[in-house]
Amino acid sequence: MLSFENDYSCGATPEILARLAEANTTTFPGYGSDDICASAKAKIREACGAPDADVWFLVGGTQTNQTIIDAITPPYAGVVAAATGHVNVHEAGAIEASGHKVLTLPHHDGKIDAKELNEYCATFYADANYEHMVFPGCVYVSQATEYGTLYTKAELEAIAEICHAYHMPLFVDGARLGYAITATGNDVTLEDLARIADVFYIGGTKVGALFGEAVVFTHHGDYSDTPKHFLTLIKQHGALLAKGWLLGLQFDTLFTDDLYMRIARHANEAADRIRATLRDKGYTLTFEAPTNQIFITLDEPTRERLEEHVRLGFMERADETHTVMRICTSWHTTDDQVEELLALL
């Protein structure tokens, strides 16, 4: 059956599989101390325009969020996130399991607002009893967000400014970063992100890799240094892959010849075509989102009709008679699949 259910259903780009086959019998040192990891890190630093950045490879998103947030948030503090943020809703309490509260702000199509962040912090420190409360210790945003929306450069800069005014690092979850950077209308480049964020990651799992997230500590200011003994912290969180070279190999491939951006752009183009048709046909797009995730609000008959032929992602019940569903393209979406979906719509 046709599936636009999510962007982590298939394996990896053929380039990665080929490279893997090639490297399979080489003897690598463990835990990421190999040459391919070094090469991948160099390429990422270059792509970020951040020669001082420090790059690490982890396996998956929740693991990465948990490990980073626990490492950069002081023990008396929590992480500020949108109420809809992945760390608040869909990580089974991984953040709290490592001892930190998620402090929520209202979301606007999945995004937090710099002014509301400022107000939150100002109110916190103005409270006579703030020492009895959980300090805002770092800020988590996703680019793209859980709703496929994007922060503009100005929005991210405004958030970063508030973060630093309140001595907090800004952490950007880039599980779908490729789809963000190559989206139509996006104005935040990888270099911008490396300049604005204190730490972020470049998602591989959803963008061409079998698995893997490349964490970048940007080392450009007071809040962006790698936490002390970060390797040990990764290990302590059960997140250190023995064959770290598998991660390096994938990112080294993705950051060769712009592969990462090329395959992400491909997914966005497919999404753009689907969005155009949805608009033409009068479908309700739930959010104005330019990336590979398209949310549509469907009445039940339409939903049932579509789901006979194509697997979509369930988002939430909108009301008694409508459901929000997700159409998700991916680096591996083919033209045929898009055509087939367009025909269904």
Subset of residues 50 to 69 that bind a second copy, contact rule: CB under 8 A: 59-64, 66-67
339 vs 345: CA distance, rounded Å: 10
x/- map, 13-52, a second copy, by CB under 8 A: -x--x--xx-xxxxxxxx----------------------
Name, in order, each residue with C-beta under 8 angstroms of 295's C-beta and a sequence gap of 6 or more. Answer: 147, 148, 285, 286, 287, 289, 315, 324, 325, 326, 327
Tell me the per-residue interface mask from 108 to 127 with a second copy, x by CB under 8 A, - otherwise.
------------------xx
Q: Which amino acid, residue 156? A: L
Q: Which residues make beta-bridge pairs with 173?
A: 142
Q: Of 70 and 113, which has the nearer Cβ to a second copy?
A: 70
Among 51, 128, 222, 282, binds a second copy (CB under 8 A): 128
Minimum distance from CB of 151 to a second copy (Å)?
Answer: 24
Specify the stretch interacting with a second copy by CB under 8 A; choose among 10-18, 250-258, 259-267, 271-279: 10-18
Identify which of 223, 215, 227 has the alpha carbon closest to the alpha carbon of residue 196.
223
Select from 243, 279, 305, 309 the one that contacts a second copy (CB under 8 A): 243
Q: Kindly state the smallest distance separating residue 222's Cβ from a second copy, in Å.
A: 15
Q: Which of 41, 43, 100, 275 binds a second copy (CB under 8 A)?
A: 100
Shortest gap between Cβ of 235 and a second copy (angstroms)? Answer: 4
Q: Which stretch binds a second copy (CB under 8 A): 42-50, 76-84, 148-156, 192-200?
A: 76-84
Interhelix angle 14-23/245-254, rounded to 10 degrees, is: 140
* Gap between the terminal Cα atoms of the chain: 16
Q: Which two structure tokens, joined as six digits, stand for 324?
A: 């929000």
Residue 310 or 342: the one with the smaller Cβ distance to a second copy is 310
Burial of 93 (0-12, 13-18, 19+ CB in 10 A): exposed
Residues between 276 and 315 that touch a second copy (CB under 8 A): 311, 314
Q: Give CA–CA dist 319/247, Å, rounded.
A: 43
